[in-house]
Amino acid sequence: MFRKTVAEGIELKLLQTSEADALYALVDRNRERLRRWLPWVEQTRSPEDVRAFIRRVLDQYHSNLGPQTGVWVNGSLSGTLGCHPIDWSNRNCSLGYWLDTGYEGKGVMTRCCAAMLDYIFNELKLHRAEVRCGVENFRSCAIPKRLGFTREGVVRQAEWVSGRWIDLVVWGLLADDWGVVSRKDRKV
């Protein structure tokens, strides 16, 4: 099973269907802030919806299309970080993430993303990683920026979220870029 220790008290673990109730409760507690940026939140109305999602992403993982993980902080499920299905023809994948409000601003997600990038570049040997964030989602955009991604452009009205179109910034990172960032004394 996919499992990575990120730092003391922070772990990434492949999501399991037995965690559906806990994950739903976490989404529900964070619903108002998450629905602003994440289109799936509106359609997530019961633990069964989350269970179906976890089944789908376990299939994805077992089909070698990348993991969707729970972010565990001090033993509590506190968010998720995962790969959207890997495009193996181009050795490319994009990442998505969210975190419980109680753990924001402590560097948790930046460090989790760094661990995931180590995995996708060093173990899976992917060529490129991408993150797409709402242009006004400053907290989210700060993560790829901090990790050395290049701001490659803006795709206009690319996502329908909570009753409005949002423009998305495309952040890209190549395996070679990550090699350089990894060799430097990284801040994360």
Among 42, 84, 92, 107, which residue sits at the site for ligand COA (rule: CB under 6 A)?
107
Rounded Cα distance between 164 and 166, Å, is 6
116 binds ligand COA (CB under 6 A): no
Residue 67 and residue 25 in contact, taking contact as beta carbons nearer than 8 Å: no
151 binds ligand COA (CB under 6 A): no
- Considering beta carbons, is residue 64 or 110 the nearer one to ligand COA? 110
Stretch that binds ligand COA, among 61-69, 82-90, 93-101, 174-182 (CB under 6 A): 93-101
Among 8, 18, 62, 105, which residue sits at the site for ligand COA (rule: CB under 6 A)?
105
Contacts of 118 (CB under 8 A, 6+ apart): 182
92 binds ligand COA (CB under 6 A): no
Phi, psi of 91 (to 5 degrees): 45, 55
142 binds ligand COA (CB under 6 A): yes
- The dihedral of CA 44, 46, 49, 51: what is its sign? positive
CA-nearest of 144, 126, 151 to 181 is 144
57 binds ligand COA (CB under 6 A): no
Burial status of residue 132 (CB atoms within 10 A of its CB: 0-12, 13-18, 19 or more) = buried
Structure letter (DSSP) for residue 65: S
109 binds ligand COA (CB under 6 A): yes
CB of 155 to ligand COA, least distance (A): 13
- Considering beta carbons, is residue 104 or 176 the nearer one to ligand COA? 104
- By CB under 6 A, name the binding residues for ligand COA: 33-34, 37-38, 97-99, 104-111, 133, 137, 139-140, 142-143, 188
